[in-house]
Amino acid sequence: MTTEAGRTPKQKMIAGELYHPDDAELGADLRACQVWLARYNAMLGRPADERRVLLREILAGVGDGAVIRPPFHCDYGFNIRIGAHVFLNFNCVILDCTTVTIGDRTQIGPGVQILTADHPREAEAREAGLEFARPIAIGRNVWIGGGALILPGVTVGDHAIIGAGAVVTRDVAPGATVVGNPARPVPAKA
């Protein structure tokens, strides 16, 4: 369905604009991803190279040697791009209403959530059912500890470390280590 501005809700969603998530095209994309996830998550006992073939069916990009251990959960898949030798451990969630990029050799612990989906702060817009999304970019050779949350719009620089359970609400500088809720930089040792 094309909106009054000539853009579909899907186009608006990917662009980070306000959109209605109950659109028929988005619903079909969600269902297709759910069917794909059922297939993928049933492959836990299969070799990583076989799972990688399936990842390439739906993700925007999958680098050589990339591994996502099932179970894995995402909204659409087509907004996710992972680099070479990226590793996501069990039970990772990526809400990919817009782009999520993960650089080469990044290691992501179990239960990590990467969340692009957001909601308006104005009550009227929420009541109207509007949503939006902000992209997440995770650099190269990043380590993200188990149970961490990466919130909408965050960029994590190359070689950064995010401690287990951290709630990352702001950008993380290259090479920085952040911990806590909200995540704060750990001071460099003298």
Active site residues: 119
Separation CA 14–CA 68 (nearest Å): 23
Q: Rounded to 5 degrees, what angle do the CA atoms 81, 82, 87 make?
A: 150
Nearest residue to 158 (alpha-carbon basis) of 170, 132, 145, 176 = 176
Query: What number of other Cβ atoms are within 10 A of residue 190's Cβ?
Result: 3
Residue type present at position 15 = A
Residue 141 makes CB contacts below 8 A (sequence gap 6+) with 103, 104, 105, 106, 158, 159
